[in-house]
Structure 1
Amino acid sequence: MNDDELQHELLHRYSRLRYLNSGISPRMLLKRWLWHGVISGTYFVKRLIDVLASVILMILLIPLFAVIMALIYKSSPGPVFYKQTRVGRWGKLFTMWKFRSMYLDADQRLKEIKAQNEMAGGVLFKMKNDPRIFPVGKFIRKASIDELPQLWNVFKGDMSLVGPRPALPSEVNKYSLQDRQRLEVIPGITCIWQVSGRSNIPFPQQVQLDIQYIQSQSVWLDIKLLLKTIPAVLLSRGAY
C-alpha cells in the first residue's frame, strides 16, 4: 500500500466516526455538547501554547541552528535538513523536518542492516551502533537536537509540543487496531515514553503509554511532560 492509498484508507475510516444524535435524550445531548466544549477549550489552549512556544524557541535557537548546520555540513557534505513523510492525526500525511544525522545513502543501506533491528515489536527500526549515522549525527541524536526543526511543524499545526511521536506510513501499515489509537491526536515532539526511557522501551509498551496519555491528556499533563523532557534529554536516557 503506497502513501496515497494509506491516507485515503485512514481518512475514510475516521470520516465514518460521527455522533449519532437520533434517539438521544436532551440530557445526554447536553452532556455531549458540554464535553465537546471542554475538549475544544483544551485544544485551543494547547494550540495557543504550541504557537507561542514554537515562535519564541525558533527565534532564540537561531545561533544554535547556525552552528549545528555548519557542523553537519562539515561532517557529511550535503543537505543539512532531512524531510520525511509522516502520519498525523486521523491518518493525514505531512512532511516532518529534522536535522540530517545520517549519511546520504542511509535509506539504501537500511536494507542491508534491517535484520539487526534491536527494537522489540517489529514495527520500528532501532540500532544502538547504526553505521548509517555520522559522528556529529550521533551527538545531535543523543541530545535530541535533530528534532528541533520540528518546531516549524508545531507552528504549522502538523504537530504539537507534546503528543505521540509521528509514525512512518510503512510503520502504520503494520499497526494493530489498538496501535491505531495513536492517530486520534496530533503527534508531538516529545511524549510520555520519551521521558520514561525512550528507545529502551519496546514498541508495545510505547503504544500503551501513548494510549494512557491520550486518555488523560490535559494542559497540565503537557506542562509536566515538557518539564520532564529537559532532564531526560540532558541525561540522554535511552537515546540512540
Structure 2
Amino acid sequence: FFKKIGFKCHRRCEVLWRLSNRMTRYRSGLASAPIAGFMVMYNKHTLGLEDLGTLEEQNWLNDQIINMYGELIMEATQHKVHFFNSFFHKQLVAKGYDGVKRWTKKVDLFSKWLLLIPIHLEIHWSLVTVTMATKTISYYDSQGIVFRHTTDNIMKYLQSEAREKEQTAFQKGWKITIIKVNLNPDCNSRVYCRRLSVKQPLLFSQEDMPRIRKRIYKELCDCRLND
C-alpha cells in the first residue's frame, strides 16, 4: 500500500491523517518490517514512518523527531530562538568547548532572545533554556532529577562562546534556575520548546498530551508550526 510513496510537505499531512486507521494496522509490525519509501523531508531532515510512530501513545521520541521539530521552531520564530541539535550536549561533555564551537561559527547566539538545548539523560529527555536578556539558564525536568553538572556545562560553554565572540557582557553574571514539572517525562520537553519559543505559559496537563502529540505529528508532516 505504501510502496514508493513520496509526499511533498504541503500535501503530506492531509493524506497521512486519512491513513491513520490503516497505519494502526501496520504499527505492530513496524519494528520488524519498516515500510520502505515513506518519508517526510525538510531541509536536511528526513523522517520515516517509524520515526513518526514514536509520537503515538507514550512512546519515547527519537532524535530525528526532536531535531526537525526544533528547526521548525527556529523557522517559526524567524531565528530569534536558537535550537541546539540533540547531540550537542553529549558532544560538549565528551569534547569540551573546542569540540562544539564550530556548531555556532555562523550563529550569533547573543543576538537571540532564547536558546533551547535538549538534554538526553538516557532514561528520558530534559530541557535547558537560556534567556539572553536576563542571562538566566533554566533546567526543566519532569522527574525531579537535577544534574547540576548539566547546567554548569552550559554556563561554561556560554562563557567560552562569549570570549570567542568577544561578548564581554556575557562572560559573567549568569543565573541558574531549576524548574520541576509533573508531566510525561518525554514529550513534554517538545511542548516546553514550542510554548517558551512563543512566550506562552506552560498551562497544559497530562490529559492534553495525546492531543498535543497529534498536533506535533501534523506539524511535522506539514513542515511548519500551526498558529
- Return the TM-score normalized by structure 1: 0.28
Task: Report the structure, 1 or 2, having the larger helix content.
Answer: 1
Task: Report the structure, 1 or 2, having the larger strand content.
Answer: 2
Larger Rg: 1
- Return the TM-score normalized by structure 2: 0.30
